[in-house]
A = this chain, B = another copy of it.
């Protein structure tokens, strides 16, 4: 995708939990990592997201922190 956000993790949606306004979407990457996202229920519907779909988690670098293990 031609967007400035440097972090784009491809995977498969494994769960969608819907509230009235916000949804919690969980994606599992090929490498086995679980990425959880908070987006609008409206966005889930606009993109037609459902478990099993391929999708990409996109994250702006200014939103990534570094911690020591």
Contact = CB atoms under 8 A, between A and B. Distances in A.
A47 B66 contact: yes
A52 to B, nearest CB: 13
User: Within the oligomer, what is the number of copies of this chain?
Assistant: 6
Given A6-B42, A47-B66, 18 more contacts: A1-B67, A3-B66, A4-B40, A4-B46, A4-B66, A17-B20, A19-B20, A29-B33, A30-B31, A36-B42, A37-B64, A38-B62, A39-B66, A54-B68, A57-B65, A58-B66, A59-B65, A60-B62
30 contacts: A1-B3, A2-B47, A3-B65, A4-B44, A4-B46, A4-B47, A4-B65, A4-B66, A4-B67, A5-B43, A5-B65, A6-B40, A6-B43, A19-B19, A21-B23, A22-B22, A22-B38, A33-B33, A35-B59, A36-B64, A47-B66, A53-B68, A55-B66, A55-B68, A55-B69, A56-B68, A57-B67, A58-B66, A59-B59, A62-B62
